[in-house]
Amino acid sequence: MPLIAITDVRKRFGANEVLKGIDLDVAAGEVCAIIGRSGSGKSTLLRCVNGLETIDGGSILVAGTHVSSEDQQLRALRLKVGMIFQQFNLFPHLTAGRNVMLSPMVVRKMPVGEAEDLARRMLDRVGLGQKFDAYPDQLSGGQQQRVAIARALAMQPLALLCDEITSALDPELVNEVLAVVGELAADGMTLMMVTHEMRFARQVCDRVVFMHQGRIHEIGPPDELFSAPRTPELRQFLGSTAH
């Protein structure tokens, strides 16, 4: 059974239908990249998976639980899937360590000492053990994004959703974040990532999904998709992003 099962998902913003029937299964441990032009619906799809957007049709199952708009169910779902954002969204009034500790303490009722140990382990895992007491505005963008990853990992999710997590970074900071994501992938974490890093997608992902105008236009292993795109849209898209 797939960990994330997306079936005929539809989503509209007013008159604009951004998802026109998406079917996609992501297996446990799979790393799945979603590529496509801006406005193709890839970020919306990701946000639907953890309920930040409600869907207008179809169904999404995560580890056997339906994604609904019901509060209690939504919270249960979010304990299973973590999300990392383009703009990091760290809590600016808390130190890096406290950012990581907050949710385990508030949601899982973990005692302070235990949460602190956990936060140190998670920050070590992203290579920022020494930044425990730094505030977000004292960290570089790459470091902030790694803290955000540690924060998501502290909730021990089954899957991580990454929404263009390197797009807001200066080019020289992109690799440190991708290295962390690469390690997670190697450790067997299930990842769904919207990305513009084609080289990374090619190296790390098991499968690449190309979205075009609200539909999955092409899907397959990265080697196949990148070296032999079947549709003119993908060929054009790859041509325009080739460095």
Q: Site residues (CB under 8 A) for other proteins?
A: 50, 52, 71, 75, 78-79, 82-83, 85, 87, 89-93, 102-103, 106-107, 135, 137, 148, 151-152, 155
Q: Which is nearer to other proteins, 78 or 207 (CB)?
A: 78
**CB 106, min distance to other proteins, A:** 5
| Distances in whole angstroms, Cα of residue 67 to Cα of each of 3, 64, 107 | 13, 10, 19
Q: Which is nearer to other proteins, 40 or 50 (CB)?
A: 50
| Closest C-alpha to 1, from 24, 17, 25, 20 | 25
Q: Which residues make Cβ contacts (< 8 Å) with residue 180, sequence separation at least 6?
A: 126, 127, 146, 149
Q: Which is nearer to other proteins, 63 or 219 (CB)?
A: 63
CA angle 120, 164, 100 (to 5 degrees): 20
Q: Which is nearer to other proteins, 137 or 187 (CB)?
A: 137
Q: Which residues make Cβ contacts (< 8 Å) with residue 66, sequence separation at least 6?
A: 59, 60, 73
**CB 110, min distance to other proteins, A:** 12
Q: Which is nearer to other proteins, 39 or 92 (CB)?
A: 92
**Token output for 102:** 């907050």
**CB 104, min distance to other proteins, A:** 9
**CB 57, min distance to other proteins, A:** 22
Burial class (CB in 10 A: 0-12, 13-18, 19+), 40: buried
**CB 11, min distance to other proteins, A:** 16
Q: Residue 171, SS3?
A: helix
